[in-house]
Amino acid sequence: MLKYAVKRVAMGLLSIFIVATLTFFLMNMVPGGPFVAEKSISQEAQAALAAKYGLDKPIMQRYATYMTDFLKGDMGVSLRQRGRTVSGIIFSKFPVSARLAGIAVLIALLLGIPLGCLSAYNRGKLADNTIIVFTTCGIAIPSFISSVLLLYFFGSKLNILPTVGLNSLASYIMPVTALAIYPTAYITRLMRSSLLDVMGQDYIRTAKAKGLANFKIIFKHALRNAVLPVITYVGPMLAGLMTGSFVVEKIFTIPGLGREFVSSIVNRDYTMVMGTTIILATLIITANVIVDILYKVIDPRINLK
Amino acid sequence: MKKNPISLHIDPDEFAPATSEEKESLVIMRESVSFWKDGFRRLFRNKIAVVSLAVIILIVIFAYFLPAFWPYSYEQQIQGSENLAPFKYSTAEQARIDAGEKVFPHVCGTDKLGRDFAVRLMMGTRISLTVGLVCAALVLLVGSLFGAIAGFAGGWIDNIMMRFTDILYTIPDILLIIILAMVLRDPLKTLATVKGFQWMQTVGPNLIAIFIVFVLLYWVGMARITRSQVLVLKESEYVTAARAMGAGNGRIIRKHLLTNCIGTLIVTTTLQIPSAIFTESYLSFLGLGVAAPMPSLGSLATDAVKGMNTFPHLLLFPAIFISVTILVFNLFGDGLRDAFDPKLKN
């Protein structure tokens, strides 16, 4: 068990390192730089700026400096947002994104699991078919389409929800909905198929033979095992939420980490790109590692080799 | 032969050889059904899959054939007909109609540069579909080869190859996709001007960047599935038999292993198409997708976001098209899976 955990953690660290290295070299390989786009700056000033941020040194040396600084906890200063450190920006933006994603996860779980059970319980009936139709559509609609449509109908047409920022409670409704549609639909389907699978097992038949009520069988016997696959989905769900947050934060002009990542890439803010990429990658990889280990702990059927 | 009435002798006629008709009536086996026949029969019994297939065919006709017969082209700017609503005519066109001329209606209206939006939708669908199909094909090629080689070779080769995919698998792909899409843009644009690479201009350097990004990151899942199939299949008796008859490794991979896991491969490839379309539209939205004047469904939707309060149809049409395309490919993929690969169902 311990050996497995250590192995997974080591592999996770290696993955983070690879992401950081790949990002660093890919970004620096492209001609142009963070200061080229600014037309107002003269050649000399550009060179001076490059020298100030150490961009004139050979790439291997810069890579070594960045990595050693990073291990000491220093992610450098932003190249485009003058005078702000990368860690400072990340610390101020991360809670915004985390809150949005957290609410979306909660909604997805609180809605998806019961809906999946309902669907499996009424298999083949109207409720089941309705849920299947809705979840199938929910999986097919990209988050930017759903958020733009929400924005159009509730923001502009009906004008009942605020469209910009996160200043009031009501302004959470649209971004969270846009983020939560996909995971909710996915969890519902996952839960349905997993519960149907478990309901076919022998021990459920035994419980039925004992004369237990259907309701009790589902909640006491089936649900505990059926909910396991949902746990494995947590890692991919986080990755999906991050993907969604890039566009949702852009559409609803929310000052979160996702928007920061996209704009830093477009602006060639090297240190910001590195910082946000490493943080986001670490988050997702950590979640995956924890889920992998946890899954083996709670499901004794998976043997540990 | 004559039978003695009091003898216990059994009637010899009962032992006469059976006629061929008699034999046939006793065969209880029905005609054997081949893998493909069986799969297609199950597929066509699935109503949802059949409807999805029909919609897919309609979309393909819409995207690849209809533009050739459409009276407008996707980059043609019609002076005076900017921002028309569906089925509306500009004053100049109305005058021509009144004069008895026939003017083809703008079924989906026009955009702010006076381009017919219906034909732009068709071209957008074409680009999005092309991205989906080409990416799926490339992923299939790279992934299945990698997986087959790893599974077939076994031992330390397999170990190294699979550790490699394990690491790629844990990397959050969307981060690298965005970075790669950004990074590959300019170099490919300059490469397209170099002699010998000018064919890239016709396809568009951006489109090629997207292909590269997809192949680099999405083959992993395919490789894993192929490998696990090959691991099971290569222990089977017919592979041993083929080897005993002196078949080489290449022949065994091509003739026996790949043909036997083809069902799984088809299903995985089909489900790759909507995910590629999904990601392309997403990249387009972030401004990293296919470049103007060539539209993709994602970039059409993105362009319409700014003016969506005044011209909502420009947003709604591409939005519906993306969603429907992804939906029908998903449904058809599910149908294929149920038909050709019942094992994967759970």
Q: Å from B30 to nearest chain A CA?
A: 31
Residue A112's pLDDT is 92
Residues 197-236 of A with CB under 8 A from B: 197
> Tens of pLDDT along A103-124?
999 999 999 999 998 898 888 8
Burial B121-155 (b: 16+ CB within 10 A, else e): bbbbbbbbbbbbbbbbebbbebbbbbbbbbbbeee
Of A19, A140, A152, the CB nearest to B308: A152
Report d(CA B260, CA B20) in Å as an integer: 36
CB contact under 8 A, B301 and A144: yes
Which residue's entry shows tokens 């004047």? B293
Report d(CA A258, CA B285) in Å as an integer: 14
Sequence ranges of the domains in chain B? 121-344
Torsion of CA A198, A199, A203, A209, to 10 degrees: 180
Residue A105's pLDDT is 92
Report d(CA B286, CA B280) in Å as an integer: 10
**For residue A126, which amino acid is it?**
L
Low-confidence winner among A28-37, A62-71, B176-185, B191-200 (lowest mean pLDDT): A28-37
CB contact under 8 A, A139 and B330: yes
Confidence of residue A86 (pLDDT cuts 50, 70, 90): confident
Report d(CA B194, CA B255) in Å as an integer: 41
Residues of A in contact with B306 (CB under 8 A): none
Of A14, A27, A239, the CB nearest to B172: A239
**Cβ–Cβ under 8 Å, residues B44 and B336:** no
A-B interface: how many C-beta pairs under 8 angstroms?
114
Between CA A140 and CA B46, with CA B346 as vertex, the angle to 5 degrees is 65
Answer whether A292 touches B (CB < 8 Å): no
CB contact under 8 A, A29 and B183: yes
* CATH number of the domain to which A82 belongs: 1.10.3720.10
At residue A77, the 3 state secondary structure works out as: strand
> Tens of pLDDT along A267-292?
888 888 888 888 888 888 888 888 88
Residue A42 burial (CB count, 10 A): 9
A221 to A123, A200, B42, B221: CA distances (angstroms): 18, 12, 34, 33
Nearest Cα residue in chain A from B303: A148
CB contact under 8 A, B167 and A15: yes
pTM above 0.90, yes or no: no
CB contact under 8 A, A285 and B178: no
The rounded Cα A120 to chain-centroid distance in angstroms is 28
With residue A243 as reference, give the H or E element that holds it: helix A228-251
Answer whether A280 touches B (CB < 8 Å): yes
CB contact under 8 A, A281 and B175: yes
Nearest Cα residue in chain B from A285: B170
Report d(CA B88, CA B71) in Å as an integer: 16
Report d(CA A232, CA A234) in Å as an integer: 5
How many residues would you count in chain B?
346
CB contact under 8 A, B174 and A242: yes
Residue range of the domain that includes A92: 1-305
Residue B56's pLDDT is 93
Answer whether B159 touches A (CB < 8 Å): no
Answer whether A86 touches B (CB < 8 Å): no
Nearest Cα residue in chain A from B330: A140
Residue B293's pLDDT is 61
The rounded Cα B230 to chain-centroid distance in angstroms is 23
Of A141, A280, A284, the CB nearest to B323: A141
Residue A104's pLDDT is 92
Residues A246-275 have a mean pLDDT of 85
- Backbone phi and psi for residue A295, each to the nearest 5 degrees, phi listed first: -60, -40
Residue B343's pLDDT is 58
Residues of A in contact with B319 (CB under 8 A): 145, 148-149
Residue B345's pLDDT is 46
Report d(CA A194, CA A117) in Å as an integer: 9
Report d(CA B279, CA B276) in Å as an integer: 5
Which one is the CATH code of B121-344: 3.40.50.2300, 1.10.3720.10, 1.10.443.10, 3.40.190.10? 1.10.3720.10
CB contact under 8 A, B309 and A156: yes
Q: Å from A83 to nearest chain B CA?
A: 25
Q: Å from B254 to nearest chain A CA?
A: 33
Residue B346's pLDDT is 40
Answer whether A145 touches B (CB < 8 Å): yes
| Cis peptide leading into residue B293 (ω within 30°) | yes
B323 to A240, B47, B204, B303, B312: CA distances (angstroms): 17, 20, 25, 17, 16
CB contact under 8 A, B305 and A30: no
**Cβ–Cβ under 8 Å, residues B184 and B212:** yes
Residues of chain B with pLDDT under 70: 1-4, 81, 198-203, 258, 291-293, 341-346
Both tokens of B151, joined, read: 């599974």
Of B170, B173, B285, the CB nearest to A247: B285
Residues 176-215 of B with CB under 8 A from A: 176, 178-180, 182-183, 186-187
Both tokens of A119, joined, read: 């669907």
Instruction: Provide CB contacts within 8 A for B180, sequence distance 6+.
Output: A26, B209, B212, B213, B216, B217
Residues of B in contact with A18 (CB under 8 A): 167, 171
Answer whether A113 touches B (CB < 8 Å): no
> Tens of pLDDT along B89-145?
777 777 777 777 777 777 777 777 777 788 888 888 988 898 899 999 999 999 988
Q: Which residues pair with A85 in a beta bridge?
A: A77
Both tokens of A253, joined, read: 């002009």
Residues 150-179 of A with CB under 8 A from B: 151-152, 156
Answer whether A246 touches B (CB < 8 Å): yes
What is the ipTM for the molecules in this complex? 0.79
Higher pLDDT, A169 or A249: A249
- Backbone phi and psi for residue A41, each to the nearest 5 degrees, phi listed first: -95, 135
Residues of A in contact with B312 (CB under 8 A): 152
Answer whether B330 touches A (CB < 8 Å): yes
Q: Å from A212 to nearest chain B CA?
A: 27
Q: Å from A3 to nearest chain B CA?
A: 17
CB contact under 8 A, B323 and A156: no
Residue B292's pLDDT is 57
Answer whether B314 touches A (CB < 8 Å): no
Domains: count for chain A? 1
Report d(CA A100, CA A178) in Å as an integer: 11
**Cβ–Cβ under 8 Å, residues A226 and A191:** yes
Residues A125-139 have a mean pLDDT of 89
> Tens of pLDDT along B150-160?
887 878 888 88
